Amino acid sequence: MKTQFSRYPAPAFILGLVAMILLARLLVLGAFPLMDPTEGRYAEIGREMVTTGNWVVPQIEEEVPFWGKPPLMFWFMAASYSLMGFSEYSARFPSFFLSCFTLVMVYFLARRILNASFALMSVLFLSTMALFYSYAGYVAVDTALLFTVTLALSGMLCALISESKSGRRWWSYVFFLGLGLSLLAKGLVGAVLIMGPVILWIWWNREWRTIRSLPWFTGLLLTLLVAVPWHIVCEMKSPGFLDYYIIGEHWKRFTVSDWEGDRYGSPHQFPRGTILLFFLITALPWSLVFLVTLIQRPPIREISKGLLGDRVFSFLVFWFLVPLLFFTISKNIMFTYTLPCLPAFAMLLARVFLIEAETEHQDHLTTVSSNLIGGLALIVPTIFLLAAYFVIPLLGESRSQKELAAQFMNLDFDSDAALIYTDRMPLSGDFYAGGRAIDIPDENPDTILSHLKDVDQDYFAIEVDDLESFPFEGLALTTEVGRFGDYILRREFDPSDLPLKFVLPATPEEYDPNREISTMETAPRLDPPPTNGS
């Protein structure tokens, strides 16, 4: 007896389930602090855009350019800050917005390809994949890349299946717009992930005449008009940008396994082919369902051949494969690099489910899709929501500067005081301190003492392991006000509140860092005592 699609969850049920899952994700956008290094860095870059008014050159600190990524995601964050103020919620909202828009595009594309049932299943699968759901509210540029790649490839596929000349032309311009935006989202890698599926599809289907009918000349002009002006202006305002950005970020990052030129971190090195393992993890639970299907139903190979033999679904196959194949040859990868292939995987999986529902076979996949699809869809959102309230906040104690910066802001009565990190500063510190945090490279003692000699009552954030290397004069002139994860926060004494008889210890041995110094006991003298030979 033929299995009917009615055995699957009803369309209204799927729509309600997706809405509930996304609403839950929206509500926890501000449930935990921004995490270093990624969230803290990118959130601070967006904040710098608003406070400095410089929307051309991304900056990690004022007058310190960030050349690692183009500005599209930072523009979205700056716009969000302008509307909602500075907060975790407003920093993460652009990722949520772009993820929802990606789901809308997938629904629209899938409906044009087949029908509403296929579209709803595709949206359900994509919205409940581990990486998609977790990053639909994470401060990163990857969601902007996902959005632009989906926009471009959806436009191209709609152009290819459009029956009217005007429709084909209009959708082609959507493709070229998405291509240009991808260059502003994550650079040339976006163009590779977009043009790769198109080129392979043309070669596989021999669609030379169809592809030549597209407005390539005016379309590429649109792409250049969208992407090129920013690159030119950024190089003019920040010389050296193009050399680092084009050669370093787009060539050496992927081809040099021990590349040491990364200004903003170290390369993530993995054996070649690790991206396939990353895909299996990031597409859970549906990647596991697909693997079970392959094992229990060998004739699935026939379905694969059918997909490749279809001019529409073969496009989705290449959309899915190109990111995995491209990053297979690279050692410097991250698990987020699988994100652009997930929309295509969701649509392909939905098609396999529907094909199974239309066959005579009653196998494991049909049973799963009939009885457990709703439960499977809830696995990732449930785990994430529990983690958002009970696990991730605990990580925030060691991976975020929110509490330390809050203590600085609460105790500070000097508007000119700074929160000084004596080594490399986690950028969430600058975000939460409202741009008043600075760092002292390599714990330079002369720079530390120069801050102690100025008129401001500064605060020093010192890593616990670095306390012994902090100048003993600095320990004598500051007092501990709290410990936050790996950091100790010390406040500089206010000389105006102290008597004038204190002589700074001549040697570290004369100073006991565990003794609290009473403000009525001593007053600091900033110059060290004279030596015997002076």
CA atoms within 13 A of residue 181's CA, in its CB half-sphere: 24
The confidence score (pLDDT) of residue 179 equals: 98
Residue 124 has pLDDT above 80, yes or no: yes
| pLDDT tens profile 208-244 | 888 888 999 999 999 999 999 999 999 999 998 888 8
Residue 528 has pLDDT above 50, yes or no: no
With tokens 């500075």, the residue in question is 86
Q: Round to whole Å and give the CA distance between 101 and 109.
A: 12
Residue 182 has pLDDT above 90, yes or no: yes
Q: What is the mean pLDDT of residues 262-289?
A: 83
Q: Round to whole Å and give the CA distance between 476 and 516.
A: 9
Identify the band that residue 297 occupies on the pLDDT scale cut at 50, 70 and 90. low
The confidence score (pLDDT) of residue 521 equals: 39
- The percentage of residues in the chain with a pLDDT greater than 70, rounded to a whole number, is 81
| Nearest C-alpha neighbor of 95 from the set 143, 129, 128, 36 | 143
What mean pLDDT value characterizes the chain? Answer: 84
Out of 70-79, 278-287, 374-383, which region has the weakest mean confidence (pLDDT)?
Answer: 374-383
The confidence score (pLDDT) of residue 255 equals: 57
Q: Round to whole Å and give the CA distance between 507 and 532.
A: 13
Answer whether 225's CB lies under 8 Å from 183's CB. no
Residue ranges covered by each domain of the chain: 8-258+270-392, 401-510
Q: Give Cβ neighbours of residue 529 (< 8 Å, ≥ 6 apart).
A: 503, 504, 506
The confidence score (pLDDT) of residue 83 equals: 97
Residue 365 has pLDDT above 70, yes or no: no
Q: What is the mean pLDDT of residues 420-434?
A: 91
The confidence score (pLDDT) of residue 194 equals: 97
The confidence score (pLDDT) of residue 208 equals: 85
Tokens coding 87: 């907060």
The confidence score (pLDDT) of residue 253 equals: 62
The confidence score (pLDDT) of residue 303 equals: 64
- The percentage of residues in the chain with a pLDDT greater than 90, rounded to a whole number, is 53
| Nearest C-alpha neighbor of 156 from the set 321, 316, 347 | 316
The confidence score (pLDDT) of residue 305 equals: 65
Q: Round to whole Å and give the CA distance between 140 and 42.
A: 7
DSSP one-letter string for 326-350: HHHT-SB--GGGGGGGHHHHHHHHH
The confidence score (pLDDT) of residue 293 equals: 74
Residues linked to residue 489 through DSSP beta bridges, in sequence order: 461, 482
The confidence score (pLDDT) of residue 517 equals: 42
Residue type, 202: I
Tokens coding 145: 């890349």
Q: Round to whole Å and give the CA distance between 466 and 135.
A: 34
| pLDDT tens profile 127-178 | 999 999 999 999 999 999 999 999 999 999 999 998 888 999 999 999 999 9
The confidence score (pLDDT) of residue 158 equals: 96
**Segment of 42-51, 272-281, 297-306 carrying the highest mean pLDDT:** 42-51
More confident residue, 2 or 97: 97
DSSP one-letter string for 85-150: -SSHHHHHHHHHHHHHHHHHHHHHHHHHHS-HHHHHHHHHHHHTSHHHHHHTTS-SSHHHHHHHHH
Q: Round to whole Å and give the CA distance between 242 and 267.
A: 20
Residue 372 has pLDDT above 60, yes or no: yes
Contacts by residues 410-414 (CB-CB < 8 Å, ≥ 24 positions apart): 411/459, 411/481, 411/491, 412/459, 413/457, 414/456, 414/457
The confidence score (pLDDT) of residue 364 equals: 46
Residue 367 has pLDDT above 50, yes or no: no
Backbone angles phi and psi of 129, in degrees to 5:
-75, 145
Q: Report the predicted TM-score, pTM, of the whole model to 2 decimal places.
A: 0.87
More confident residue, 396 or 531: 396
The confidence score (pLDDT) of residue 10 equals: 77
More confident residue, 506 or 334: 334
Strand 59-61 to 64-65 pairing: antiparallel
More confident residue, 39 or 260: 39
Answer whether 182's CB lies under 8 Å from 193's CB. yes
Residue 347 has pLDDT above 90, yes or no: yes
Tokens coding 368: 């799963």
Residue type, 125: F
DSSP one-letter string for 45-74: HHHHHHHH---SS-EEETTEE--SS-SHHH
| pLDDT tens profile 58-94 | 999 888 899 889 999 999 999 999 999 999 999 999 9
Identify the band that residue 417 occupies on the pLDDT scale cut at 50, 70 and 90. confident
